[in-house]
Amino acid sequence: MPQRSAVIASRVGLHARPAAVFVKAAAATGLEVTIGRPGSEPVAADSMLEVMTLGAGHGDEVVLSAEGDGAERALEDLTALLATDLDA
């Protein structure tokens, strides 16, 4: 299963609007995508509640995984999204 690391660029972390934008993008891939903090159990990236419970703040590292056709491309896109300040 392909994985990518990303650093949260949004000033408020993965909370409220940035989390909603990320969750919508993860769901749009049509793939099983997970997100987690290093060393912790990953959660479903298409679940707003689960993504917000990560408590990922500005500058925190997260690990994304995806399974299925197009997983590499989906992870590249989602990693780039997290590297953008989604509050700007």
Q: Which residues are catalytic, by number?
A: 15
**Structure tokens belonging to residue 28:** 């749009």
Q: How many CA atoms lie within 13 A of 48 on its CB side?
A: 8
φ, ψ (nearest 5 deg) of residue 5 = -100, 145
Question: CB of 60 within 8 A of CB of 15?
Answer: no
Question: CB of 6 within 8 A of CB of 58?
Answer: no
